[in-house]
Amino acid sequence: MVLLDEADKATAASWRLILANAKGSQWRLGFSGTFPDPKEKPYDDLRLDELMGPILIKARNIDLVERGISAIPLVELRSYNATDALMASAPKMKEWWKLPGPARRQSVYEYAIAFNLDRHLFITNLIRPDTPTAIIDNRVAHGQALS
């Protein structure tokens, strides 16, 4: 059995490879709050169907909340201005705009987010004692820097 959370990401090359190697699985169940939009990524909806099978059940979160299955989502957004961090790293980033697109984004991500100690302090100060907390990021080094 394959259980795939955030199944809308199944069309990414890495997930396609994993799913291609899970040939013996009798069940493939995917969970997602987002279905691929064919206008944004043509054919991803068909690829998802090919990889995971047809949609079996559609459920809106409000329906699950009303049935007592899902918690009422509480999202609290806090803003953080990364300008100071970028300015502090300006000498290292002098010519960041000359980098190709992906490298430019990676450079800004590293200086403004992943290795920005002031931002890490800001985030860790949001943690409340005796409150289970998950900080989710997409880079191991970033997660380690936050701990």
Q: What is the pTM of this model?
A: 0.48
102 is in which domain, residue-wise?
A: 83-146
Span 81-137, pLDDT tens digits: 877 766 776 666 667 778 888 888 888 888 778 888 888 888 888 888 888 887 877
As to burial, measured by CB atoms within 10 angstroms (0-12 exposed, 13-18 middle, 19+ buried), residue 130 is: exposed
Q: Please tell me whether residues 88 and 137 are part of one structural domain.
A: yes
Q: Please tell me whether residues 37 and 87 are part of one structural domain.
A: no
- Tell me: pLDDT of 140 over 90: no
Span 29-88, pLDDT tens digits: 888 877 777 788 888 888 888 888 888 888 888 999 999 999 998 888 888 787 776 677
Q: Please tell me whether residues 54 and 89 are part of one structural domain.
A: no
- More confident position, 20 or 86: 20
| Count of domains observed in the chain | 2
* Distance (Å) of CA 131 to CA 65, 83, 126: 22, 30, 11
